[in-house]
Amino acid sequence: MVKVDLSGVSAFFDPAELDFAAASRAHRELVDRTGAGNDFTGWLELPQRIKDTELKSILSAAQRIRSRSKALVVIGIGGSYLGARGAIELLRPIRGENDPKIFFIGNGLSPDALNDMLQQLGDCDFDVNVISKSGTTLEPAVAFRIFRKLLKEKYGTAAKKHIFATTDAHKGVLKSLADSEGWECFVVPDDVGGRYSVLSAVGLLPMAVAGIDIKTVVNTAIEEFKALDLRSPENPAWQYAAARQHLYRNGKSIEILGCYEPSFRFMAEWWKQLYGESEGKNGIGIFPASVELTADLHSMGQYIQDGPRTLMETIVSFDEPCRGFTIPFEMGDPDGLNYLAGKELAGICKTAAEAVKAAHISGGVPNIGISVPARDEAGFASLVCFFELACAISGYMSGVNPFDQPGVEAYKKNMFKMLGKPN
């Protein structure tokens, strides 16, 4: 299970002050389906609801893609791609010899980005996984039109075998297209919003194609959600939600998520959507930001240490590295680093993290630690369950609906109007 370390907030308040009563009420609201947006809480049982037949279908599709194609093009935006990309970059930062390349497109409107990706794709065999509940979101819809054309040019009538649609079970433009064209479909559950959907086919199919063990992901998630149902201040989700809400009420309005693993970058992007879209409404909410450590200490470190005291930071760490590395000895010590010779790089990194934590706390930045046993499938699943549950509890504690996103629609309306979309 994920563990939360609150020692880094003790200089700012007594952890006994945390409002666990509010966390308990929020948790009960969530589980009893009495809170706002309760029709989008299906993610709580999502891993348990994945039937063996659905998992077999996902694995079968993934195996077909892996056996015949050099690449999978994943088309989606927001929750339709961030979780999968976060998982793949965290768990498979180096592609295996037999693993297809995974490309993500449809998350913007840049012609340069599209052309750059097409150049990388080249003339290799590829499949497409288009992910959209409605099929009407402009960015992925435009990308999908382009790739449908490419597939038809490349494979002719067999193109339909290379398209996998992850969409609504019954309705929507994409579902209608899939039914008429004969594409294989996977379901985005009606009661699960995009940012909470990574443990469905939305995330599992691209992950499986990348070579990730999705059975372990699903089975771990089942057990993790059971463990996180603990109704006690010992629940790490309660601890995290209560701590960040307490800090917010005391002027810490920006949360910086950091990790000392560069492969965590897109997990941080997923986290930013999860928390930003869930909590940022009604004129309130903690602003989610992220840094990559130690690299960003040499770009953002100054601001964190000495800038406005509106910051809190949350640091994700993995207890054990996947592989170790020992600093070598060099005769004559020309670079003055022999004092580190024989030491494990992981230990040096841990020391650096402790030094940074102490410095930031002394500079007025509270620190919340989140530790995960290992950077593997089980660790990933545990982290997803933890962050999702803590986010929902934190949202209810702040008095907002953590499952809607009315502000997202504002830009869409303006954009469609300016582009001349027919009513």
**What residues are annotated to the active site?**
277, 298, 412
CA distance linking residue 327 with residue 195, whole number of Å: 41
209 in helix, strand or coil?
Answer: helix
The candidate with the shortest Cα–Cα distance to 311, out of 276, 286, 292, is 286
Do the Cβ atoms of 255 and 405 come closer than 8 Å?
no
Dihedral angle of Cα 393, 395, 399, 404, to the nearest 10 degrees? -120
Q: How many CA atoms lie within 13 A of 300 on its CB side?
A: 14
Q: Which amino acid is at 421?
A: K
> Which pair of structure tokens corresponds to residue 100?
């297809």
Residues 6+ apart with CB under 8 A from 43: 191, 192, 193, 196, 197, 199, 388
In order, the DSSP letters of 310-334 are -EEEEEEEEEE-SS--BPPP-TT-T
* 367-374/287-292 β-pairing: unpaired
Q: 3-state secondary structure string, 334-379?
A: CCCCHHHCCCEHHHHHHHHHHHHHHHHHHCCCCEEEEEEEECCHHH
How many other CB atoms sit within 10 Å of the CB of residue 171?
A: 13
C-alpha 50, offset from chain centre: 20
Do the Cβ atoms of 342 and 285 come closer than 8 Å?
no
The candidate with the shortest Cα–Cα distance to 219, out of 377, 111, 402, is 377
Q: What are phi and psi for residue 163, nearest 5 degrees?
A: -115, 130
Query: How far is CA 229 from each of CA 222, 314, 403, rounded to the nearest angstrom?
Result: 11, 22, 19
The position carrying tokens 């953590």 is 402
Q: What are phi and psi for residue 341, nearest 5 degrees?
A: -60, 135
CA distance linking residue 388 with residue 241, whole number of Å: 11
